[in-house]
Amino acid sequence: MAKTPEYAIIVAGGSGSRMQHELPKQFMEVAGKPILMHTIERFHKYNPAVRMVVVLPQEQLNTWRSLCQKHGFRLFHMTVPGGATRFGSVRNGLDAVMGDGLVAVHDGVRPFVAVETIQAAYEAAATYGSAVVAVSPKDSIRELTAEGSRAVPRAKYKLVQTPQVFQASILRKAYEQPEQEYFTDDASVVESIGESITLVEGSYRNIKITTPEDLLLAEAFAREG
């Protein structure tokens, strides 16, 4: 039987404002290579046949082309221009996904996702229609209230990562709706059309490179391979 087509929308259309660096963080080097190249390599390592759609800021398409030349980066991927928000970028990426199959959405700035995590997410989505990678919090959690704050039971919460994988038809339907402020990831978008979300265990190494100190961790993880 033919394998279900697998797609990956790698969203790298942001400006990286919290990194406070001139170059968008997805292009900053870790272990001598742009972060985004590490990310693409992880998906290629999982399955060289994954059809990759990389979403980039419109004004940075040429920068990426130059970086690929400079680093001799030849792993095949399509590029599409991003939107004003992550939601808009995923929607643009989805327009490039033709036909049925499983679609992973992954942050371009999560370069240390394990191949085993990617595999587990595609497998769960094949069975349940959705799969969202998450880990348990390590710190205590307090909820902000009108009076101040109060402790909440940590065991009731998960910290959400990517990849988030869905049947293409579900993801398309979800991204037809208007964007809402509480859409911070793909699970929140899909859930709001009434679909249930299946969680898959993630990894504490699957960090999202967001602020400058994350780069220190990233260099350490990259050294370990």
Ligand X SMILES: Nc1ccn([C@@H]2O[C@H](COP(=O)(O)OP(=O)(O)OP(=O)(O)O)[C@@H](O)[C@H]2O)c(=O)n1
Give residues in contact with ligand X (CB under 6 A). 11-18, 26, 55, 82-86, 89, 107-109, 208, 210
For 74-94, b/e burial (b = at least 16 CB within 10 A) is eeebebbbbbeebbbbbbbbb
Parallel, antiparallel or unpaired: strands 130-135 and 149-152: unpaired
Q: Which is nearer to ligand LQXTBERG, 100 or 201 (CB)?
A: 201
Contacting ligand LQXTBERG (CB under 6 A), which of 94, 160, 189, 209? 160
Compute the least distance from the CB of residue 12 to ligand X, in Å.
Answer: 4
Q: Which residue is nearest to ligand X (CB)?
A: 14
State the minimum distance, in angstroms, from the CB of residue 175 to ligand X. Answer: 13
Q: Say which residue the tokens 């009108």 belong to.
A: 146
158 binds, options ligand LQXTBERG, ligand X, none, Cβ within 5 to 8 A by partner type: none
Residue among 126 and 159 whose Cβ is closer to ligand LQXTBERG: 159
Can you point out the beta strands (E) in the chain?
6-11, 29-30, 33-34, 51-56, 78-81, 102-107, 130-135, 141-144, 149-152, 159-167, 199-201
Which residues, other chains included, contact 155 with Cβ-Cβ below 8 Å and sequence gap of 6+?
A: 136
Q: Is 86 in the site for ligand LQXTBERG (CB under 6 A)?
A: yes
Q: How far apart are CA 96 and CA 178, in angstroms?
A: 19
| Closest distance to ligand LQXTBERG from the beta carbon of 25 (Å) | 11
Show contacts with ligand LQXTBERG in window 98-157 (CB under 6 A).
107
What does residue 141 show for φ and ψ, rounded to 5 degrees?
-125, 135
How far apart are CB 107 and ligand X at their closest, in Å? 4
Per the DSSP assignment, residues forming a β-bridge with 141 are: 152
Half-sphere CA count of 5, side-chain side, radius 13 A: 11
Minimal distance, residue 63 CB to ligand LQXTBERG, in Å: 20
Size of the site for ligand LQXTBERG (CB under 6 A): 8
Q: What are the start-end ranges of the E strands in 16-61?
A: 29-30, 33-34, 51-56
Q: Which residues contribute to the site for ligand LQXTBERG (CB under 6 A)?
A: 86, 107, 160-162, 184-185, 208
